[in-house]
């Protein structure tokens, strides 16, 4: 038998509650290494909650309860001994950009520094590489000492992506990253994501159906806390959707 490489993330019976409210129910899925996994769906479908559960950010949300199993690289994320090491391996980009009130350079160098890298040459190299990757280098290379929190929204979002890349993550979670970014920059970041697929795995939550189509290898459709279906993107968009609700959403009848 041919052994398929084991999935990077596997989720079994995942349910998420906020107090009495159920945000996500009974989700089973696998995310393979080096794929872009798209998640589409209308608001309140549980997409963001799903991402939060993946890197254990539920801890920051009072009242958020996660049930079920999530394994990352074969480890149950709820019982890893070093939670911070887990988060270091999972980069996150939030919908609203967060430029930390540090200099642009320090924003990107923060994560390497936290891991104990102190050599200037090494830090310079990481900062430049990550900023180039995030298509921000040319705009800020002359003012790396400026405050990251005073950049424009689109620039801050790219700074956030650069910061996530500086962690050297295995898995990158993008939560509707294009909300605060202009279309041209969005296209540039999408190009970057396609390249990044060579080295890491990406979960792309998006409210733009066409973005999932352009980027994702497989796409799943979330609706009202349920994972309605998961299919290879091509199949899904060329009429291969099994569920009526998926077809309706893709065709824009609701959302």
Partner 1 sequence: MTSDPNKDSAGPPPKPASPQPASPGPLPLRHAGHHEWATALDHRDRTWWFDCIARLAVLGGGLSAILFIGAIFVFIASQGIDFALHHLNWLDFLFGKRWEPTVEPPEYGALPLIMGTCWITGVAMIIAVPLAFGAAIYIGEFARGRQREWLKILIELLAAIPSVVWGVIGLQVMKPIIQHVFGVQVGLNVLNAGIILGLMAAPIITTIAEDALKAVPETYREAAEALGASRWQVIWKVVLPHARPGLSAAVLLGIGRAFGETIAVLMASGHRLMIPESVFDSAATITATIAAELGEAAHGSEHYQVLFVLGLLLFGITFGINLTADWIVRGRRSRA
Partner 2 sequence: MTTIDPMFVATPLEKRNHTIQQLVRTLLLAVALLLVVPALLILGVLVVEGAPGLSWSFLVDPPRSNGAAGGIGLPLLGTLWLTAGALLLALPLGVAAAIYLSEYARDNWLTRTINVAIVNLAGVPSIVHALFGVGAFVHFLHFGKSILAASCTLAVMTLPVVIVATRESLQAVPKAFREACWSMGATRWQTIWRVVLPNSGSGILTGLILCVCRAVGETAPIMFTGAVFLRSMAPQSVFDKTMALSLHLFNVSTQLTDVPHHLPFSVALVLIIVVLALNGTAIAFRMRLRGRKKW
Closest-CA residue to 171 (of 195, 191, 200, 196): 200
Return the SS3 of 211: helix
Q: Are 128 and 135 in contact (CB under 8 A)?
A: no
Q: What's the CA gap between 143 and 104, in Å, rounded? A: 8
Binding mask 72-91 for partner 2 (x = CB under 8 A): ------------xxxxxx-x
- Return the residue of 114, 182, 242, 243 that touches partner 2, per CB under 8 A: 114
252 binds partner 1 (CB under 8 A): no
Considering only the stretches 40-48, 53-61, 228-236, 239-247, report the one whose residues sit in contact with partner 2 under the rule CB under 8 A: 53-61
Binding mask 139-168 for partner 1 (x = CB under 8 A): ------------------------------
User: Angle, nearest 10°, between helix axes 183-196 and 153-166?
Assistant: 10
- Return the residue of 10, 149, 152, 245 that touches partner 2, per CB under 8 A: 149
CB of 79 to partner 1, least distance (A): 5
CB of 226 to partner 2, least distance (A): 26
| CB contact set of 24 (below 8 Å; sequence gap of 6+) | 14, 15, 16, 46, 49, 50, 53, 225, 226
Positions touching partner 1 (CB under 8 A) are 3, 5-6, 8, 33, 56, 58-59, 62-65, 72-76, 78-86, 89, 114, 170
């Amino acid at each position: 038998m041919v052994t398929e490489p084991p999935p990077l993330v596997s989720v079994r019976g995942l349910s998420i509650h906020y107090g009495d409210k159920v945000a996500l129910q009974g989700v089973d899925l696998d995310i393979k290494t080096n794929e872009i996994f798209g998640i589409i769906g209308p608001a309140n479908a549980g997409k963001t909650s799903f991402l939060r559960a993946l890197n254990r950010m539920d801890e920051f949300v009072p009242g958020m309860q996660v049930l079920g199993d999530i394994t990352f690289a074969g480890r149950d994320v709820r019982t890893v001994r070093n939670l911070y090491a887990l988060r270091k391996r999972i980069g996150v980009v939030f919908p609203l950009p967060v430029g930390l009130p540090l200099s642009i350079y320090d924003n990107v160098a923060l994560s390497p520094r936290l891991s104990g890298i102190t050599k200037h040459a090494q830090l310079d190299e990481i900062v430049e590489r990550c900023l180039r990757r995030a298509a921000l280098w040319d705009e800020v290379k002359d003012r790396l000492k400026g405050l990251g929190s005073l950049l424009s929204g689109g620039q801050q979002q790219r700074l956030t992506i650069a910061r996530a890349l500086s962690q050297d993550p295995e898995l990158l979670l993008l939560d509707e990253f294009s909300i605060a970014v202009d279309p041209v920059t969005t296209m540039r970041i999408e190009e970057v994501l396609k390249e990044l697929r060579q080295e890491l795995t990406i979960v792309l939550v998006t409210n733009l159906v066409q973005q999932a189509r352009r980027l994702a290898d497989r796409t799943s459709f979330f609706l009202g806390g349920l994972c309605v279906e998961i299919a290879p993107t091509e199949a899904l968009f060329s009429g291969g959707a099994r569920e009526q609700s998926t077809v309706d959403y893709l065709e824009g009848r609701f959302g």
